[in-house]
Amino acid sequence: MPHFDYPCPDCRATTSLHDADCRFEGTPWVEVERAYVDIVSVLAGGPCDEETLRREAPGEWGPLQQAALRRLKRDERVSDANSGVLRLRTAEEFREEVSEPTREPMRTLHQYGSVPGCHDNAVFAMIAWYEMVGLSWPETRENVVNWLRDTGAWDRGGFEEATPAELVEKKRHVYEAGYGWKEKAVSAKRVIDRYRS
């Protein structure tokens, strides 16, 4: 199944397997990608407000373009921190600022770490997250190993492997396949919330 560089603006799928309730199910990928490219190409020329973006986007502005812009903001590829001025984050800025997840469900995973009963899902989600934000495999491995140690997840036990590094290395296929993090992160957060309450 082909994978796409840009996620579906609604459900974040990067294949033609959308979530059941996705509003863009069946939309040709070429249209999805064009919506993103139109936005990015305008913003690559410099920051501007949304009205200017709509006017200067090469294609017609519609619900798909609107959703793609919202997705770029939510994924923090585009910053609107400066009172409505849209700005494309540089790759470096994105990696530095965004690789730390600040939104749920990833925030809970990142902050509290995994607990027995959700290790598989939590580690999967963390690796998929770092892949999504553009970290290399060595950076991802280092971050996930540190996360297992620093959050106390490793000390909570329930792992078959001898070391965090061994565990993360065994999950390299998750990074290479570019799986989505959302579903696994939601499941893991549910278990972590229960554990903490």
Q: Which residues bind Zn ion (CB under 5 A)?
A: 8, 10-11, 13, 18, 22, 24
The nearest distance, CB 62 to Zn ion, in angstroms, is: 16
Question: Which long-range contacts does 20-25 make (Cβ < 8 Å, 24+ apart)?
Answer: 23/67, 24/64, 24/67
Strands 85-88 and 48-49: antiparallel
Closer CB to Zn ion, 21 or 160, in the complex = 21
142: left (phi over 0), alpha (psi -120 to 50) or beta: alpha
The nearest distance, CB 35 to Zn ion, in angstroms, is: 13
Closer CB to Zn ion, 6 or 24, in the complex = 24
The nearest distance, CB 97 to Zn ion, in angstroms, is: 26
The nearest distance, CB 135 to Zn ion, in angstroms, is: 24
| E strands, the chain, in order | 48-49, 78-82, 85-88
Closer CB to Zn ion, 23 or 107, in the complex = 23
Rounded Cα distance between 169 and 141, Å, is 7
Closer CB to Zn ion, 32 or 168, in the complex = 32
The nearest distance, CB 11 to Zn ion, in angstroms, is: 3
Closer CB to Zn ion, 18 or 87, in the complex = 18
